[in-house]
Amino acid sequence: MAGVVLQVVLVGLGSPLLVGVMRQVRARLEGRAGAGIWQPWRDLRKLMRRQPITPAGTGWMFRAAPLLLPGTALVVASVVPLVTTASPLDGVADLFAVTALLTLGSVALALAGLDTGTAFGGMGASREVTVLALVEPTILLSVFALSVPAGSTNLGDIVTAAAEHPLSLISPVSLLAAVALVIVSIAETGRIPVDNPATHLELTMIHEAMTLEYAGLDLALIEWASAMRLSLLLGLLAGLFAPWGIATAGAGPLALLVAAVVIALKVTVLGGLLAASEVFMAKLRLFRIPELLAGSFLMALLAVAASYFLA
Amino acid sequence: MILVGVWYVAALSACALAALAAVLGPARGRPALVGTITVGAGALAAVAGVAAMGGGGWQAWLPEVLPLAGVRLAIDPLSGVFIAVTGAVTSCAALYGVGYAKDGHGPAGRVTQAAVPLFVASMLLVPAAASVSTLLLTWELMAITSLLLVLAEHRRRAAVGEAALWYAVMTHLGLVAILSGLFAFAASAGGESFAQLRAAELSPAMRSAVFVATFVGFASKAGIVPLHVWLPRAHPEAPSHVSALMSAAMVNLGCYGILRVGLDLLGGGPAWWWLLVLAAGAVSALYGILHAVVAADLKRLLAYSTTENMGLVLIGLGAAGFFATAGFDALAGVALTAALLHVVNHAAFKTVLFLAAGSVLRATGTRDLDALGGLRTRMPYTTGLFAVGALCASALPPGNAFISEWLLLQSLIQSGSVSGLAGVVLMPLAVAVIALSAGLAVATFVKAFGVGFLARPRSPAAGAARESPPAMVGGMALAAGCCLALALAPVLIVPALTRPVLAVVAGTGVSARDLILAGGAGAISPTLIAAALVLAVGAVLALTRAVMVRRSRRVARLWDCGAGPMSARMEYTATSFAEPLQRVFDDVLAPENDVDVTPARESAYLVRRVAFHARVPDRIERRLYDPLLAVADDVGIRARRLANGSVHRYLAFGFCVLTGALVVLAVIE
Amino acid sequence: MSLLRKIRKTGRVAEPAPERTLEDLPAAAQLRGSVQIRHVDAGSCNGCEVEIASAFGPVYDGERYGARLVASPRHADALLVTGPVTRNMASALRRTFEAVPEPRLVVALGDCARDCGVFAGAYGVAGAVRDVVPVDLEVPGCPPEPQVIIEALRRMTGR
């Protein structure tokens, strides 16, 4: 229980810092000084104090999305094995459930984008859902491939099995699934080359276009949730492919603390790598993105096929 | 045990009473009277089905009802599932029908009103049929009554007639397939009751022939590709509560037939039968959802989604049969439970969705998503209930389809060690299909709900919509309540499916119940997911209340980039929403775009009018059926020359045929 | 790889932050180091835009002080208006101003935004920015140099 609370707090407070680190890495590589890793928190602190706006003609879906998005992220944060594999919500700690919950959050935001009835909102929702419709199957497939060796989709079981048999991590199943998961995590969190989080041009937007109408506290919630989703997906990757240092059931407070430090390090490194690789890439043209995602889908399918052959 | 019979007979009697009331009753208040009795009939049938699922059986042998064969009925737990589903769907649809028939919408005439309870009765009889003749008779009764109902609005729209024609032809071709398969079966078995069929010893070739013939017939009823073409035509054109009955109850009986004949009567078979079922299911799931995602007609979208879901059920059935033949009964049990659970879940959410679509159609007069929108404020109940259905249909938690698809994937995860080479190749593809259809289902229902109900009205008709009468809302709410119950308490539903599953496969060991109930390893608890979600959203709300400095929200005009107010024409439509996905899958969907440029008379360079048509035709219809129809047309026209009206010629034909038959007979003997 | 070598060779481009000479705006106490800015070109000759681009470029790096350009006025705390307000843009500017959540700042950037500059009296010009929306901060120059723009940004972020 203590481990899960620690984990949720870590994700809730740490994920804006992760975004800050990633921006800082990027800034340094571009020769800039950067705003510092605390800048996302400064932005959130300011946004929380600003007035939220309800655009005329929007309804309950528009209001619900800023609550649902962080809500789903928090549920996921409480079950993903970041600090500990022993979640009291064991019935939720299922890879399919986690994927579906993250999708639910995206769906809420896409519906909110449609609810505004603006051209950009609809455009963002349409693009987001297109990407989502190709990302979700890939995640499900990679997850499936990883679950076949463990014989279960329970996150704790998978991570424990992987930690006990580290050699299974360099099997083709694991490697293919890892590549596929990395690509779709990038797509899901709206990073380059799928989406550019720093763009100002509406026509190139995916994620941003849906949030154009949000202001103040609503916007703060959405940005916070986006940061949490990013760190959760990176944390999930770290947990699945480098499952060491995660506390198991019955671990003492010290072990939990160590586990928290370890996961923070792992996610920071992953985030830094992601940010650094973004410097070397340009955003893909929108209709090239499905090709990228189809490639990752194929890799996930190969992973599943391999898992059957090796089973 | 006798209880099942009592409830069941009571339900059938109520159907008969309703039909009688429709014929004899006064025109005033006819829908209300018939509808009320049918609601009761549905409830009775649901109780009978649930009692049968609990292990109660019932048999009846009525030799005098039908000459020569007699009517033989038997209810076992498996029939119980389908009777219960049909009953529950009937109650919702009939309650809705009471409101729907008011002020000129929906069928209020004598024949159509009587056809609804008769249709329901036939759907209750099919799963209870225990002999070939009874099954075929009730099957045909179901086809005819539903055909009558599809035709209900033929005076209003020309498309209805065409849809009904497609339906009539396809359903009867299916009947021919089932008929030939089962007659051959009965002839080889030396008896036509199911008990005799079960005991029969057939040659493997005969068994396979029977299976394939009946599979084709039943698959056409379930809307399986490539026999689905009637479905996206007939379901949109039927009155909406009839669409719900057809899409949520009738198509299930196709799955029931495959299950009954393949696993029960034939007792399983070679693995390729079930791989065939699985492959057909996979193709249907993918094809159905791809067409659903680009459909702009709300009811057509739902019809294609039915094809998708029946495909998923068939994947489950195929996997179950495959595991059962390989001797892995526990896995077969899980897969079959998943398939049956998906039948139940699909029935629940598809009822809500079709009823809500009918509510929209009644309020706005259009099914075209491109002309809808903004119904959220004018039809709050319909919107909310459609949202529940859409959440369930998109297989996301806390919806109910998520659970059955999860269970289906669980059964496939364990299959790695089972399958052999065929399985190793096909199972990953099945998993990929389930995953891809899950992703596309999300897109489909985001589109249906987001474009159809949110944002601002895209046409004056949508802007002037009014909420439906209480009876309709009640029917939808009842179905939505079923969805929520299935979503939140599968712990109660899944154990109830144990007996139906055991009726056809000896599935023991790891049961689906252990997987759904929290506690076991690798278990999932949908209730806990929903609770955690509510708690988390509550926590976020509390957090915002705590940190909120400015409590007042300001209402502002939409951000229009500083230009003038945005018109409804600037909104994204369903077509534009699905355009990226259509582009991604254009090799499969083959969309057609036509640009017609009409130049002015004075000069070819002056354009008077540019017309743009974009549509996504059903490729199977285009490539497979259209050439067939053309050939049939051609043959028909040529055959006309044979019949020139001369009696002598007809006598000569008769003579030739007789001689030919005698020659054939002589040769064979 | 060549890009990596380039990155290593170039190192840090950003110049050290200059000393502050002017005081913070009162609003800086509320914003506390974070200002999102929506830029509105109300009829500029694009000279100011070039300077804004350099202010957010690597050398001056406006983002290090907590300022960031955003796409939607809903996300913004401040409007950065350039150019004399032309007749066509007057209502658009007003609508953009109304779209920003309160409290909101308006920065009139460049001589044209302050008093129409060389375009004063032209037939297409509706007036200076302050004639259309209330202005909190004016940045002189034609065009203002990046340092001056940075100074103005820092007066808002307080960093």
Answer whether B465's CB lies under 8 Å from B383's CB. Answer: no
Give the one of C74, C93, C102 whose C-beta lies nearest to B562's C-beta.
Answer: C93
A interface test, pick of C34, C54, C80 with most A CB neighbours within 10 Å:
C34
Per-domain residue ranges of chain A? 2-310
Does residue B565 belong to the interface with chain C, where contact is any CB pair within 8 Å?
Answer: no
Shortest Cα distance, chain C CAs vs residue A214, angstroms: 6
A to B CB pairs, distance under 8 Å: 261
Tokens for A102?
């993250």
The reported pLDDT for the residue numbered B511 is 57
Asked whether residue B452 is assigned to any structural domain, the reply reads yes
Contact (CB, 8 A) for C80 and C123? no
Q: Which of A54, A133, A308 is nearest residue B424 as measured by Cβ atoms?
A: A308
Taking the alpha carbons at both ends of chain B, their separation in whole angstroms is 52
**What's the whole-model pTM score?**
0.95
Q: Is A129 on the interface with B (CB under 8 A)?
A: yes
Q: Distance, in angstroms, between B555 CA and closest chain C CA?
A: 10
Per-residue pLDDT tens over the stretch C104-132: 999 999 999 999 999 999 999 999 999 99
B495 CB-contact burial (10 Å; exposed 0-12 / middle 13-18 / buried 19+): middle
B-chain residues within 8 Å CB-CB of C74? 559
pLDDT digits (tens, 9 = 90+) for A111-124: 999 999 999 999 99
Distance CA B116, CA B98 (A): 12
CB contact at 8 A, B157 and B237: yes
* Cβ–Cβ gap B562/C95 under 8 Å: yes
Q: Domain holding C57: CATH number?
A: 3.40.50.12280
> B509-516 long-range CB contacts below 8 Å, 24 or more apart?
B509/B329, B509/B330, B509/B333, B510/B330, B510/B334, B510/B414, B511/B330, B511/B333, B511/B334, B511/B337, B512/B333, B512/B334, B512/B337, B512/B338, B512/B341, B512/B407, B515/B334, B515/B407, B515/B410, B516/B403, B516/B407, B516/B490, B516/B491
Quote the CA–CA distance of A277 and C16 in Å, as a whole number.
26
DSSP state of A152: -
Any C CB within 8 A of B553 CB:
no
- The pLDDT of residue B108 is 72
Exposed e or buried b per residue across A172-193, where buried means at least 16 C-beta atoms within 10 angstroms of its C-beta: ebbebbbbbbbbbbbbbbbbbb
Beta carbons of A130 and B443 less than 8 angstroms apart:
yes
Q: Is B557 on the interface with C (CB under 8 A)?
A: yes
d(CA A43, CA B82): 57
Q: Which of residues 137-166 of A touch B (CB under 8 A)?
A: 137-138, 140-141, 144, 147-148, 151-154, 157
Closest approach of C91 to chain B, Cα-based (Å): 7
Asked whether C106 and C81 are in contact (CB, 8 A), the reply is: yes
- pLDDT < 50: residue spans in chain B: 509-510, 517-521
With an 8 Å Cβ cutoff, is A201 touching chain B? no
Q: Per residue in B276-326, pLDDT tens?
A: 999 999 999 999 999 999 999 999 999 999 999 999 999 999 999 998 888
Instruction: Calculate ∠ Cα B325-B328-B330, nearest 5°.
Output: 125
Res B103: pLDDT:
64
Contacts of B642 (CB under 8 A, 6+ apart): B649, B653
Give the domain extent around C43.
28-157
Q: Does A136 touch chain B (CB under 8 A)?
A: yes
Taking the Cβ of residue C58 and every Cβ of chain A, the question of whether any pair is shorter than 8 Å is answered with: yes
Task: Give which of A5, A53, A79, A90 to mutate to test B binding, by max B Cβ within 10 Å.
Answer: A90
Q: Could you tell me if residue B256 is inside a domain? A: no
Query: pLDDT, tens digit, for every residue of B463-497?
Result: 999 999 999 999 999 999 999 999 988 877 888 88
Total domains in chain B come to 1
| Identity of the residue in A46, A53, A215 whose CB atom sits nearest the CB atom of C31 | A46
Q: How many domains does chain C have?
A: 1
B444 within some domain: yes
Q: Across-strand partners of B75?
A: B58
Contact status of B634 with chain C (Cβ, < 8 Å)? no
> Is position C22 within any domain?
no
C145 lies in a domain? Answer: yes
The ipTM estimated for the assembled molecules is 0.96
Mean pLDDT of the residues in chain A: 91
Domain annotation covers residue C116 = yes
DSSP string spanning B260-317?
IIIIIIS----HHHHHHHHHHHHHHHHHHHHHHHH--BHHHHHHHHHHHHHHHHHHHH
φ, ψ dihedrals at C125, nearest 5°:
-95, 130
Note whether A71 contacts B537, CB cutoff 8 Å.
yes
| pLDDT tens digit sequence for A164-221 | 888 888 888 889 999 999 999 999 888 888 888 888 888 888 999 999 999 989 999 9
The minimum CA-CA distance between A50 and chain C, rounded to whole Å, is: 7
C-alpha span between B134 and B75 (Å, rounded): 13
Distance, in Å, from the CA atom of B84 to the CA atom of B347, rounded to the nearest integer, reads: 11
CA angle A299, A302, A305 (to 5 degrees): 155
8 Å CB contact of C73 and B559: yes
Residue B477: which domain range? 268-513
| CB burial string C121-147: b at 16+ within 10 A, e below | eeeebbebbbebbebbbbbebebbebe
Is the pLDDT reported for residue A227 higher than 60? Answer: yes
- For A116, residues 6+ apart whose C-beta sits below 8 A from its C-beta are A55, A57, A58, A62, A212, A213, B455, B558
Strands (E), A153-295: none
